[in-house]
Amino acid sequence: MRIRKLVMNDASTDAAVIPTAVFINFQAASRWLHTVPWGMFKLMKHIKEKYGNPPVIVTENGMDESNLPFSRLESVLQDDKRIQYHNDYMSNLLDAIRKEGCNVHGYFVWSLLDNWEWNSG
- Comparing 13 with 77, the larger pLDDT belongs to 77
48-78 pLDDT, tens digit per residue, is 999 999 999 998 888 777 666 677 777 777 7
CA dist., res. 49 & res. 73, Å (int): 45
Residue 14 in any domain: the answer is no
Is 15 among the domain residues? no
The number of domains in the chain is 1
Residue 101 lies in a domain: yes
Whether 21 is covered by a domain: the verdict is no
pTM of the model: 0.69
| The predicted structure's pLDDT at residue 94 | 97
Residue 29 pLDDT greater than 90, yes or no: no
Is 19 inside any structural domain?
Answer: no
Kindly state whether residue 98 falls inside one of the protein's structural domains. Answer: yes
CB-side exposure of 94: number of CA atoms within 13 Å?
6
The reply to whether 12 falls in a domain is: no
Whole domain around residue 80: which residue ranges?
29-120
Residue 104 or 7, more confident: 104
Domain-embedded: residue 22: no
- Three-state secondary structure of the chain: CCCCCCCCCCHHHHHHCCCCCCCCCCECCCCCCECCCHHHHHHHHHHHHHHCCCCEEEEEECCCCCCCCCCCHHHHHCCHHHHHHHHHHHHHHHHHHHHHCCCEEEEEECCCCHHHHHHHC
